[in-house]
Structure 1
Amino acid sequence: MSTLRIGLFGLLGSGNLGNDGSLEAVLRFLRTEHPDAELSALCGGPDLVAARYGIATKALHWYGGEYRTASGVRAIALKGLGKLIDVFRTYAWVRRQDVVIVPGMGVLEATLPLRPWGFPYSMFLLCASARLAGTKVALVSVGANVIGDRATRTLVKWAARLASYRSYRDTISRDAMTAMGVDTSADEVYPDLVFALPTPVGSPSGGVVGVGVMAFRGDNDERDRAEEIYRSYVDGMKSFVGKLVERGRPVRLFHGDQVDTPVLDEIIAEYGAEHVSAAPLSSLDNLMQEMAAVDTVVATRFHNVLCALKMCRPTLSVGYAEKNDMLMAEMGLAQFRHPARHVDAGRLFAQFTELEERSAALGQVLAERNAANTQRLKDQFAALSAIFPGGRR
């Protein structure tokens, strides 16, 4: 029999811990259940993915400045040329695969600022190329939302329609694709792939509070208010950290993407490194190890919240999208939510106090939900194996 060739696709190795955590979960599955498969990736950070995971890689875009704002005629011309060249590059890579897996991530959503000719265009190229080449595309535990921008919506909708397999990380994602005109009657909902990663062992000490912050600037429809939203969010989170420091609580800051670094730096500069420190993170495993040493977590980025819940830490979500709210509800902490667009430090601290008072009972609830999520993902991987050529049905 010929070797099974499996490709992995996405903004992987680009500095987002959640994206790379989803990749790690799928790689663990593939190397356990399909150890002879030939793996490669078309991704945003090919050098990092190749070095860290030991697989062949190719850059997602021909033009290296794809995600930088074009500020001159030359940059605009190179971006346009890159869009054309990427058609042929993507097809050439896809046709060499039997299956391409898009591992988790919010690849069908626009809950953060997003240009249609960026990643949505790349997703469309992937799925259209696969349909032409006879390659299967599997969108595995992905996130989605109803998208207002017409161009982005069209590209995302057609990418999803052209995929061979779709599953979602929550019901709101499946409902969003249904609302946008995709037939989801055969699509399943499974937990986020990160729930399949091993959970580090550790015990909290010293009353440390973990605070996950983000360079939050609103969603795709709020570009005109981006800086106002950013300033309001950072000031609110900074005030909340100040209340913790006033009460003698050490604070450990977390990020979820390299773009969040300025927010961490600003908070540390305000209160001093003797009170507030930042965790050096390069993976979700690092993040979870750091979370093992804190008592409670207050976080914004989706995968910061998810990892804290996976670690059974009492968690308060300062959410920026419906997916944050859905995750908290599914894990039994629906009341411990706070809006990222309107951070009220006083109310947030009151919620934090109640969360800590109920920590023992909540820990048991989280342990039960985590066990159920782990089993559901085993079911997901079995379903995924079934679509591979010669797969078990």
Structure 2
Amino acid sequence: MKIALLGQFGSGNTGNDGSLEAMLDFLRSSKIDAELLCICSNPEAIAKKYNIETISIRVLVSRGRWFNRINRILGDIPRQVIGFYTIFAQLNGLDLMIIPGTGILDDFQETAFGWPFVILRWCLAARLNGMRIAFVSIGAGPIRLPLSRLFLKTGARMAHYRSYRDKLSRDFMKSIGFDVSRDPVSADLAFGLPAAAESSRDNPDTVCVGVGIMAYSGWKKADEDGESIYRTYLDKIAEFISWLQERRLNVRLLTGDIVDRRAIADIMNMFPRNETNSGSMHIVAEEMTSLHDVMAQIAHTDIVVATRYHNVICALRMGRPVISLAYSTKNDALLNATGLEEYCHYVETFDVEVLKSQVEKMLAERARLVLEVKKGVAAFQTQLAEQEAYIHSILVDPVEQRGEIKDVSQLPQS
């Protein structure tokens, strides 16, 4: 059997790569004798990191002067046709394409002919090759652009198996007229990754707050108000960090994407070190290139305040109560399932004074909240185990000692 895994992997987003890693761990630990191929944004990085064969998700069509002229006259149709044929040829001989996790069915910071169109044409090429398609623990919504919605719904409709990482995603797809009657709800794949070891502290009485920073500039790509949105968000985060310092609480900054380095640098510049002001000396900002790195940072914290979805997941996986400053309701689904529903906020409207009061409340009730978090995470992991058992039963013969592979045509038809 030959299995392809498709996604925005290697692009610098730790959550995306963590979803790929979790799926690879499952496939490799199962008795599935399969050749694996990753179709991703950065083939070289993913091949080196996960020891897997890779190809680029981007299709480059050689262009000469005459081709460019003809292509322009014909409205880019020749380039698109050649690109699609290239994709079709690359998938020849493969049996199954898995899209593992990530918020694949939304259009955050995307145009219709960005990621939504990528999903459409790879799914179409897979179906024309006779492959089966599985969307596993995916996130969905919002999809605000009409053409993006058309592309993503059409691509998702071609899948033989779909599961969602939360009920919110499933409900969103249903709300836009998509048939979800046979689609189960599971959990985010990253909950299947191992937690980091807890950190020993020199001073056990010191309290540390993890603050997840994001280079957030609005939902739309190239939003005309993007810089203003970013600066407002950053100023409020800086005000919050100043308050934490006044309380003599340590701060450890967290990131989830390579683009967040800009926000980290800007925050650190707001707290310069000098002889009269300790400033950034109480702020730790270390490099993070994986969810394992993020969890290792969270091991030093008592509670977390975060914007990015997988920062929230890492905090929960480490048993830390979280306050969410989300840019969509996906974070709310996580907190609602872990007893933290009152700690949900929207990134563009959160009130710093409310945030301060909730930090004080969370620290006071931390012992109880930790139990709620661990209970919720255990439920997530049970959902993942059930999903893995189902996928395993489809791909591997029940007589496991023989290790015979089933025909992927046994994946349910959609």
Amino acid at match of 1:320: Y
> Counterparts of 2:144 and 2:185 in 1: how far apart (Å)?
23
Deviation at 1:304, TM superposition (A): 0.2
Task: Verify the 8 A CA contact 2:111 2:221 in the aligned structure 1.
Answer: no
Amino acid at match of 1:89: T
Matched with 2:196 is: 200
Task: Verify the 8 A CA contact 1:232 1:342 in the aligned structure 2.
Answer: no
CA pair 359-86 structure 1, distance change in 2 beyond 3 A: farther
Count of aligned pairs between the two proteins: 379
Asked if 1:315 corresponds to 2:322, the answer is: yes
Matched with 1:268 is: 268
> Counterparts of 1:118 and 1:213 in 2: how far apart (Å)?
25
Between 1:14-23 and 1:269-278, the stretch displaced more is: 269-278
> Counterparts of 1:85 and 1:253 in 2: how far apart (Å)?
45
Deviation at 1:24, TM superposition (A): 0.7
Of residues 160, 163, 166, the one that matches 1:164 is 160
Of residues 290, 298, 302, the one that matches 1:295 is 302
CA RMSD of aligned residues (A): 2.2
Task: Verify the 8 A CA contact 1:237 1:343 in the aligned structure 2.
Answer: no
Deviation at 1:62, TM superposition (A): 2.5
Deviation at 1:331, TM superposition (A): 1.3
Asked if 1:175 corresponds to 2:171, the answer is: yes
The residue matched to 2:210 in structure 1 has which SS?
Answer: strand
Q: TM-score, normalised by structure 1?
A: 0.91
The residue matched to 2:340 in structure 1 has which SS?
Answer: coil
CA offset digits 1:273-318 (Å, max 9, x no partner): 3121212111101111111111111100000011101111121111
1:224-373, aligned counterparts within 5 Å?
224-272=224-272, 273-373=280-380
> Counterparts of 1:289 and 1:189 in 2: how far apart (Å)?
29
> Counterparts of 2:380 and 2:25 in 1: how far apart (Å)?
16
- State the percentage of identical aligned residues: 38
Matched with 2:6 is: 9
Deviation at 1:226, TM superposition (A): 2.1
Task: Verify the 8 A CA contact 1:316 1:336 in the aligned structure 2.
Answer: yes
The residue matched to 1:271 in structure 2 has which SS?
Answer: coil
Contiguous gaps of at least 5 residues in structure 2: 62-67, 273-279, 396-404
> Counterparts of 2:365 and 2:87 in 1: how far apart (Å)?
51
> Counterparts of 1:128 and 1:163 in 2: how far apart (Å)?
10
> Counterparts of 1:369 and 1:159 in 2: how far apart (Å)?
32
Amino acid at match of 1:373: F
CA pair 262-221 structure 1, distance change in 2 beyond 3 A: closer
Q: TM-score, normalised by structure 2?
A: 0.87
Matched with 1:219 is: 219
The residue matched to 2:144 in structure 1 has which SS?
Answer: coil
Task: Verify the 8 A CA contact 1:62 1:85 in the aligned structure 2.
Answer: no
Task: Verify the 8 A CA contact 1:157 1:181 in the aligned structure 2.
Answer: no
Contiguous gaps of at least 5 residues in structure 1: 65-72
> Counterparts of 1:385 and 1:93 in 2: how far apart (Å)?
26
> Counterparts of 2:42 and 2:214 in 1: how far apart (Å)?
21
> Counterparts of 2:255 and 2:244 in 1: how far apart (Å)?
18
Deviation at 1:326, TM superposition (A): 1.3
> Counterparts of 2:215 and 2:270 in 1: how far apart (Å)?
17
